[in-house]
Amino acid sequence: MVRGDREVARTALGYDRVLLGLESDADTEAAGFAFEEAARRRARLQVLHAWTYRQLAPAGLTSVPTERMQADLTHRSQSEEAVPAYAVARLREKHPGVEVDIDSVRGGPARTLVEATVTADLVVVAAHRRTGRLGLQLGPVTHALLHHAHCPVVLVPVTSSVGSGD
Protein backbone atom coordinates (compact mmCIF):
# COMPACT_ATOMS: atom_id res chain seq x y z
CA MET A 1 0.00 0.00 0.00
CA VAL A 2 1.31 3.41 -0.84
CA ARG A 3 0.73 5.88 1.94
CA GLY A 4 2.41 9.18 2.50
CA ASP A 5 1.70 12.85 2.44
CA ARG A 6 4.91 14.05 0.88
CA GLU A 7 7.13 13.33 -2.07
CA VAL A 8 9.59 10.57 -1.30
CA ALA A 9 13.10 12.03 -1.25
CA ARG A 10 15.50 9.84 -3.18
CA THR A 11 19.23 10.01 -3.62
CA ALA A 12 20.96 8.85 -6.78
CA LEU A 13 21.30 5.42 -5.14
CA GLY A 14 17.71 4.95 -3.97
CA TYR A 15 15.93 5.51 -0.68
CA ASP A 16 17.80 7.20 2.13
CA ARG A 17 16.21 5.16 4.92
CA VAL A 18 13.96 2.14 5.32
CA LEU A 19 12.22 1.85 8.69
CA LEU A 20 11.38 -1.57 10.12
CA GLY A 21 8.87 -1.69 12.96
CA LEU A 22 9.71 -4.84 14.89
CA GLU A 23 7.61 -6.40 17.64
CA SER A 24 9.48 -9.66 18.21
CA ASP A 25 11.51 -12.37 16.50
CA ALA A 26 8.17 -13.60 15.07
CA ASP A 27 8.48 -10.72 12.58
CA THR A 28 11.29 -12.39 10.61
CA GLU A 29 9.41 -12.24 7.29
CA ALA A 30 8.96 -8.48 7.60
CA ALA A 31 12.58 -8.10 8.71
CA GLY A 32 13.73 -10.14 5.71
CA PHE A 33 11.70 -7.95 3.37
CA ALA A 34 13.09 -4.77 4.95
CA PHE A 35 16.69 -5.99 4.65
CA GLU A 36 16.18 -6.97 0.99
CA GLU A 37 14.53 -3.64 0.24
CA ALA A 38 17.32 -1.70 1.96
CA ALA A 39 19.98 -3.73 0.11
CA ARG A 40 18.27 -3.27 -3.25
CA ARG A 41 17.94 0.47 -2.70
CA ARG A 42 21.33 0.84 -1.02
CA ALA A 43 19.55 2.43 1.91
CA ARG A 44 20.22 2.59 5.62
CA LEU A 45 17.88 0.39 7.67
CA GLN A 46 16.48 1.60 10.97
CA VAL A 47 15.08 -1.20 13.12
CA LEU A 48 12.71 0.25 15.69
CA HIS A 49 11.25 -1.73 18.59
CA ALA A 50 8.85 0.21 20.82
CA TRP A 51 7.51 -1.25 24.04
CA THR A 52 5.44 -0.26 27.02
CA TYR A 53 5.67 -1.11 30.70
CA ARG A 54 2.57 -0.91 32.80
CA GLN A 55 2.83 -1.68 36.47
CA LEU A 56 -0.52 -1.42 38.13
CA ALA A 57 -0.56 -0.92 41.87
CA PRO A 58 -2.98 -3.09 43.84
CA ALA A 59 -6.13 -1.33 45.03
CA GLY A 60 -5.48 1.05 47.90
CA LEU A 61 -1.74 1.43 47.21
CA THR A 62 -0.08 4.42 45.64
CA SER A 63 1.61 4.21 42.28
CA VAL A 64 4.91 5.48 43.67
CA PRO A 65 7.61 3.17 42.26
CA THR A 66 9.09 0.77 44.78
CA GLU A 67 12.56 -0.76 44.59
CA ARG A 68 11.03 -3.96 43.26
CA MET A 69 9.11 -2.06 40.57
CA GLN A 70 12.30 -0.23 39.58
CA ALA A 71 14.18 -3.54 39.41
CA ASP A 72 11.38 -5.04 37.29
CA LEU A 73 11.50 -2.05 34.94
CA THR A 74 15.29 -2.28 34.63
CA HIS A 75 15.08 -6.00 33.86
CA ARG A 76 12.27 -5.45 31.35
CA SER A 77 14.19 -2.62 29.69
CA GLN A 78 17.28 -4.80 29.27
CA SER A 79 15.16 -7.63 27.85
CA GLU A 80 13.35 -5.34 25.42
CA GLU A 81 16.61 -3.76 24.24
CA ALA A 82 17.86 -7.22 23.26
CA VAL A 83 14.79 -8.05 21.12
CA PRO A 84 15.65 -6.21 17.88
CA ALA A 85 19.34 -7.15 17.89
CA TYR A 86 18.47 -10.82 18.39
CA ALA A 87 15.69 -10.74 15.78
CA VAL A 88 17.89 -9.34 13.00
CA ALA A 89 21.25 -10.95 13.83
CA ARG A 90 21.03 -13.63 11.13
CA LEU A 91 19.79 -11.14 8.54
CA ARG A 92 22.72 -8.82 9.24
CA GLU A 93 25.06 -11.69 8.33
CA LYS A 94 23.09 -12.30 5.12
CA HIS A 95 23.16 -8.62 4.13
CA PRO A 96 26.56 -7.30 5.25
CA GLY A 97 26.31 -4.29 2.95
CA VAL A 98 23.22 -2.90 4.69
CA GLU A 99 23.95 -0.30 7.34
CA VAL A 100 21.66 -0.95 10.31
CA ASP A 101 20.64 1.27 13.21
CA ILE A 102 18.84 -0.55 16.01
CA ASP A 103 16.64 1.32 18.46
CA SER A 104 14.56 -0.03 21.33
CA VAL A 105 12.46 2.67 22.93
CA ARG A 106 9.94 2.75 25.71
CA GLY A 107 6.76 4.17 24.28
CA GLY A 108 3.54 3.29 22.55
CA PRO A 109 4.38 1.32 19.39
CA ALA A 110 1.79 2.99 17.15
CA ARG A 111 2.71 6.56 18.05
CA THR A 112 6.45 5.87 18.10
CA LEU A 113 6.38 4.30 14.63
CA VAL A 114 4.16 6.99 13.13
CA GLU A 115 6.52 9.67 14.48
CA ALA A 116 9.53 7.82 13.03
CA THR A 117 7.96 7.78 9.56
CA VAL A 118 8.48 11.53 9.32
CA THR A 119 12.12 10.93 8.38
CA ALA A 120 11.69 7.56 6.64
CA ASP A 121 11.16 6.88 2.97
CA LEU A 122 9.46 3.53 3.55
CA VAL A 123 8.14 1.71 6.63
CA VAL A 124 7.85 -2.08 6.84
CA VAL A 125 5.85 -3.92 9.50
CA ALA A 126 4.51 -7.41 9.99
CA ALA A 127 0.75 -7.71 9.64
CA HIS A 128 -0.48 -9.88 12.49
CA ARG A 129 -4.08 -10.48 11.51
CA ARG A 130 -6.64 -11.32 14.13
CA THR A 131 -10.04 -12.84 13.66
CA GLY A 132 -12.78 -10.83 15.30
CA ARG A 133 -16.50 -10.86 15.01
CA LEU A 134 -16.18 -8.86 11.79
CA GLY A 135 -13.65 -11.26 10.25
CA LEU A 136 -9.95 -10.67 9.76
CA GLN A 137 -8.73 -7.43 11.27
CA LEU A 138 -5.43 -5.61 11.44
CA GLY A 139 -4.09 -4.56 14.81
CA PRO A 140 -3.78 -1.04 16.19
CA VAL A 141 -0.20 -0.45 15.02
CA THR A 142 -0.85 -1.32 11.37
CA HIS A 143 -4.12 0.62 11.51
CA ALA A 144 -2.31 3.72 12.82
CA LEU A 145 0.40 3.43 10.17
CA LEU A 146 -2.07 3.01 7.33
CA HIS A 147 -3.92 6.13 8.42
CA HIS A 148 -1.15 8.38 9.71
CA ALA A 149 2.25 7.39 8.28
CA HIS A 150 4.22 10.08 6.48
CA CYS A 151 5.70 7.63 3.97
CA PRO A 152 4.66 4.52 2.03
CA VAL A 153 3.77 1.51 4.20
CA VAL A 154 4.56 -2.14 3.45
CA LEU A 155 2.58 -4.75 5.39
CA VAL A 156 4.17 -8.19 5.32
CA PRO A 157 1.70 -10.93 6.27
CA VAL A 158 2.75 -13.19 9.11
CA THR A 159 2.20 -16.84 8.27
CA SER A 160 1.96 -17.98 11.88
CA SER A 161 0.36 -15.57 14.33
CA VAL A 162 2.73 -15.62 17.29
CA GLY A 163 2.78 -11.89 18.05
CA SER A 164 -0.06 -10.16 19.79
CA GLY A 165 0.34 -6.41 19.28
CA ASP A 166 -0.10 -6.32 15.56
| CATH pick for 18-157 out of 1.10.3720.10, 3.40.50.300, 3.30.420.40, 3.40.50.620 | 3.40.50.620
Lowest-confidence region among 31-35, 59-63, 98-102, 154-158: 59-63
pLDDT greater at residue 79 or residue 144: 144
Largest CA distance in the chain: 61
What's the CA gap between 125 and 135, in Å, rounded? 21
Please report the pLDDT score of residue 47 as a whole number: 95
pTM over 0.85: no
- Quick one: what percent of the chain has pLDDT higher than 90? 44
**Pure H helices in the chain:** 28-41, 67-94, 109-116, 140-148
Domain boundaries, the chain: 18-157
- The one-character DSSP state at 162 is -
Q: Which of 118, 127, 119 is nearest to 148 (CA)?
A: 118
